[in-house]
Every structure is written in structure tokens, then in C-alpha cells.
């Protein structure tokens, strides 16, 4: 059974340099992580549709978008935990 994918070409998207470099780093890390682990979860149609809309705006497939967002949020949470002393670096 083959999957058909119909992606809309959004053309060239120009992001600010700081955003572009962070996105690229997240994509590289996400691609590395894919080979190391697999995560499955279930969402309702409304949640997936919302994610797909946001991914379309970002110009990436929704699976990549999810990986980027989750990775960025995890990094932010860990940084915050470190700042308030909830995370030990040793």
C-alpha cells in the first residue's frame, strides 16, 4: 500500500537569519533523532489539522514540524529548569 502525498509548493520562504539557523539546527537534530528512536501517539483530527496548518506556514512537512516544535520546547523547558535550579548539570 503506497501513500500519496500532495504537498503545495510554497516557493521560497525567507526567514530572519536567527530563526533560519535555529530551524536548520532543529531539523538536523530531528533527523538524527529519527534514526535513534521512534515515538508514537494518537491525536484527534482537529489537533492534526491544526499542526498541518502550522507546518504549511513554516514550509515543512507536518512530521518535521512536530519534531522541531517538541525539540525546541524541550530545550526551553530544560533551560528554564536549569535557571531555577530544578535541573542538576552533573
Query: Using one digit for the tens of pLDDT, what is the confidence trace for 71-82?
Result: 999 999 888 888
Does 78 fall in a domain?
A: yes
Residue 65 maps to a domain: yes
The series of mean pLDDT values per 10 residues for the chain, 90 residues long, is: 70 79 82 76 93 94 92 90 76
Task: State how far the Cα of 52 lies from the Cα of 61, in Å rounded to an integer.
Answer: 8
Listed in sequence order, the DSSP H helices in the chain are 17-36, 45-58, 62-83
Q: Assess if residue 76 is contained within a domain.
A: yes
Let me know if residue 4 belongs to a domain: no
pTM of the model: 0.54
Cβ atoms within 10 Å of 66's Cβ, excluding its own:
20
Report yes or no on 53 lying in a domain: no
Domain that holds residue 65: 61-90
- pLDDT value for 89: 64
How many domains does the structure of the chain reveal? 1
Amino acid at each position: 500500500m503506497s501513500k500519496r502525498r500532495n504537498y503545495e509548493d510554497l516557493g521560497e520562504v525567507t526567514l530572519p537569519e536567527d530563526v533560519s539557523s535555529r530551524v536548520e539546527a532543529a531539523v538536523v537534530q530531528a533527523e538524527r533523532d529519527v534514526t535513534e528512536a521512534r515515538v508514537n501517539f494518537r491525536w484527534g483530527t482537529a489537533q492534526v489539522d491544526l499542526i498541518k496548518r502550522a507546518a504549511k506556514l513554516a514550509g515543512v512537512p507536518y512530521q518535521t514540524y512536530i519534531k522541531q516544535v517538541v525539540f525546541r520546547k524541550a530545550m526551553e523547558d530544560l533551560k528554564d529548569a536549569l535557571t531555577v535550579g530544578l535541573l542538576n548539570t552533573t
